Amino acid sequence: MSECQTEGGFLDYSEDFYRSHGRRYSEVSHLRVRSTYINTSHPAFKGDMDLQARLVELAPGRKGLDAGCGPGARDVHHLWSMGFDIWGIDAVQGNILEAQRRHPEIADRVSVADLRQALPFPDTFFDFVMCNAVIQHIDPESLKATTLPELSRVLKPGGVLQLMFKNGSGVISVYDRVFGVDRAFLLYEETKILEILKEHGCDLIETGGRGELGGLIYFTDYKPVDHCVFYVRKSKALSTG
């Protein structure tokens, strides 16, 4: 059993981390100093903003969900300020309170919800969903049985999911120099995740004809940990996941 594993999965570990470091995480996140990456496999990808720009370009409309929006809900606020109908959820109440403190104007757009359970949104509600650096905290059973099916369910036919995750197999422990602590994360293999998403009607979006972001994109963050990010589109033939 790894150091972060508990009977209920991995959330206890992240709750402890965000309870202690949520305010600092929010500050660092809003400075975007950790949002530029190294060893990126796609020439059009340098950081989070490139991903977000491509996501909203691919999406069929402007209603979106940030699933695991983090302390301060930086991306919910950013997209809201650009006129998107964007909502955010996070399992840790302190993270949502920090978002409401920092951005009172989006207070009613962020709420507590656990991605290991059914999501509090109707079928086919969103044009796009972003889920960045979250499933590293979710155990494989919940991911397969609930999280990925739910993210697919809430997407409209033709809707787009952006999924970023720590890439590999097993669990990695690293020293996080920004927060001065050791952290442990679940790693996931991209092919296995894509298989599950396909079962729920979502297929990989390949790189665009003019080199726009798509396909399997790899990069390394500052910790350093290897990541993968991709976009999938929900089949237009499906009305539910």
Ligand X SMILES: C[S@@+](CC[C@H](N)C(=O)[O-])C[C@H]1O[C@@H](n2cnc3c(N)ncnc32)[C@H](O)[C@@H]1O
Does residue 162 bind ligand X (CB under 6 A)?
A: no
H or E stretch covering 20 = helix 11-31
Out of 26, 29, 162, 167, which residue is the one contacting ligand X (CB under 6 A)? 29
From residue 197, alpha-carbon distances to 40, 164, 204, 234 in Å are 24, 14, 9, 9
- Of 124 and 136, nearer to ligand X (C-beta) is 136
Using CB under 6 A, which of the segments 57-65, 109-117, 188-196, 225-233 binds ligand X? Answer: 109-117
Out of 54, 58, 68, 155, which residue is the one contacting ligand X (CB under 6 A)? 68
Dist CA 65 CA 63 (whole Å): 7
Does residue 11 bind ligand X (CB under 6 A)?
A: yes
Q: Which residues lie below 8 Å from residue 104, measured CB to CB, with a gap of 6+? A: none
Out of 70, 159, 214, 241, which residue is the one contacting ligand X (CB under 6 A)? 70
Dist CA 63 CA 72 (whole Å): 20
DSSP assigned state of 117: S
Out of 52, 95, 124, 152, which residue is the one contacting ligand X (CB under 6 A)? 95
Out of 97, 133, 174, 216, which residue is the one contacting ligand X (CB under 6 A)? 133
Dihedral sign for Cα 46, 49, 52, 54, please.
Answer: negative
Does residue 79 bind ligand X (CB under 6 A)?
A: no
Exposed, middle or buried: residue 151 (CB in 10 Å: 0-12, 13-18, 19+)? buried
Q: How many residues bind to ligand X according to rule CB under 6 A?
A: 20
- Spell out where 6-154 has E strands: 63-67, 85-90, 110-112, 126-132
The residue behind tokens 């929006």 is: 69
> Do the bridges between strand 126-132 and strand 155-166 make them parallel or antiparallel, or are there none, so unpaired?
parallel
- Of 34 and 208, nearer to ligand X (C-beta) is 34
- Of 111 and 235, nearer to ligand X (C-beta) is 111
Does residue 91 bind ligand X (CB under 6 A)?
A: yes
Out of 26, 124, 132, 162, which residue is the one contacting ligand X (CB under 6 A)? 132
Q: Give the total residue count for the chain.
A: 241
CA atoms within 13 A on the CB side of 99: 31
Does residue 225 bind ligand X (CB under 6 A)?
A: no
Tokens for 91, please give them.
């399992």
Out of 13, 42, 50, 90, which residue is the one contacting ligand X (CB under 6 A)? 90
- Per-residue mark of binding to ligand X, 110-129 (x: CB under 6 A): ----xxx-------------
Does residue 190 bind ligand X (CB under 6 A)?
A: no
Does residue 14 bind ligand X (CB under 6 A)?
A: yes
Does residue 42 bind ligand X (CB under 6 A)?
A: no
Site of interaction with ligand X (CB under 6 A): 11, 14, 18, 29, 68-71, 90-92, 95, 114-116, 132-134, 137-138
